[in-house]
């Protein structure tokens, strides 16, 4: 089957926004943030059924999803060889014959995300590609190491070549309502990142309520976060649509008040191509086309890419292939 697919990426102008400088902590704004759980759940329940795309349109959106993936390996048995293989997959995320059949070229993932020890290997493997390396930091995943060591860890990863730093917040500040402490912590993390962009991981599955998620999102953006991210992927509950809707609307509120666009990264548990389409449609409906670019939207995922590639092969050939035919590295 020979088909020509125009990815949504090709239809969107590539824009670069001014980086969020942060602002003074506005506790009145933070405390005014509420979350109507039943209304949020009703809204999210309608998304998978109402927002369905088929055939060439589906293939185009799946290609768009690939460009927004932070291809990730965060295992205790990671090796430099595994990271290099993952980087090779990031550079060529879909088999060449499938891309030829789709009429697409030059597609890559949004970034590669690794532990600090693996940053040099990833930077070397991706040299000259323009694909950034993201490093998880600040005592990932629990964020309970001494504060000065968490700050120093950021500096080490930046010095090693990481262009993006995924930090974890101290959940206790949210659970105890100590918003000033959360703000001060995030400001120091942002300062330590320098020119590297910072993604604030809220670990939403451990924050108790959607209202806490909304307030923590605002505080991190006020403190200068470039992205807010749902989860480390290590919690028992990771990215969900209700949590995503709350965080996305906090991003919209922040943009409407300050003029600065903040990125969003759902992470953990997103492994099926159909789920990526739901998240993309949610971003488009709530924030608009500008947030469908990888500088403002990422999936934190390891297995998602394999399922997307299987769906693209089905689109091209009419048959599903085994998962081992689309290895991640």
Interatomic CA distance for residues 73 and 326, integer angstroms: 16
Q: Of these residues, 89, 265, 275, 307, which one is catalytic?
A: 265
Whose CA is closest to 70, among 287, 239, 315?
Answer: 239
Interatomic CA distance for residues 140 and 24, integer angstroms: 27
97 is catalytic: no
> Any idea which residue has 């009429």 for tokens?
103
Q: Of these residues, 229, 275, 295, 307, which one is catalytic?
A: 229
Q: What angle do CA 199, 210, 250 make, to 5 degrees?
A: 50
Interatomic CA distance for residues 122 and 110, integer angstroms: 14
234 is catalytic: no
Residue 267 three-state SS:
strand
166 is catalytic: yes
> Across the strands, what pairs with 133?
112
Tokens of 96: 């060449």
Q: Of these residues, 70, 166, 275, 295, which one is catalytic?
A: 166
Active site residues: 166, 229, 265
């Amino acid at each position: 089957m020979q088909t020509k697919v125009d990815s949504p990426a090709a239809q969107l102008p590539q824009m670069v926004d001014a980086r969020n400088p942060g602002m003074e902590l506005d506790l009145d704004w933070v405390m005014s943030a509420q979350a109507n759980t039943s209304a949020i759940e009703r809204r999210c329940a309608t998304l998978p059924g109402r927002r369905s795309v088929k055939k060439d349109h589906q293939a185009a959106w799946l290609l768009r999803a690939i460009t927004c993936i932070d291809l990730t390996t965060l295992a205790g048995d990671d090796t430099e060889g595994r990271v290099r293989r993952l980087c090779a997959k990031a550079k060529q995320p879909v088999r060449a014959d499938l891309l030829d059949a789709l009429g697409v070229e030059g597609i890559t993932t949004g970034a590669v995300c690794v532990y600090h020890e693996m940053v040099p290997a990833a930077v070397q493997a991706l040299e000259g590609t323009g694909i950034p390396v993201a490093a998880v930091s600040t005592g990932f995943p629990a964020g309970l190491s001494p504060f000065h060591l968490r700050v120093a860890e950021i500096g080490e990863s930046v010095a090693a070549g990481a262009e993006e730093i995924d930090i974890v917040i101290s959940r206790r500040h949210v659970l105890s309502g100590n918003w000033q402490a959360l703000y001060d912590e995030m400001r120091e993390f942002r300062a330590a990142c320098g020119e590297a962009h910072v993604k604030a991981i809220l670990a939403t599955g451990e924050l108790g309520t959607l209202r806490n998620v909304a307030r923590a999102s605002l505080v991190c953006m006020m403190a200068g976060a470039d992205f807010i991210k749902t989860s480390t992927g290590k919690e028992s509950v990771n990215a969900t649509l209700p949590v995503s809707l709350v965080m996305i609307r906090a991003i919209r509120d922040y943009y409407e008040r300050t003029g600065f666009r903040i990125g969003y990264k759902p992470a953990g548990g997103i492994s099926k191509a159909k789920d990526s389409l739901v998240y993309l449609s949610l971003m488009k409906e709530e924030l608009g086309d500008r947030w469908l670019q990888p500088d403002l939207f990422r999936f934190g995922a390891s297995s998602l890419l394999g399922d997307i590639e299987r769906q693209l092969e089905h689109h091209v050939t009419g048959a599903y292939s085994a998962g081992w035919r689309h290895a991640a590295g």
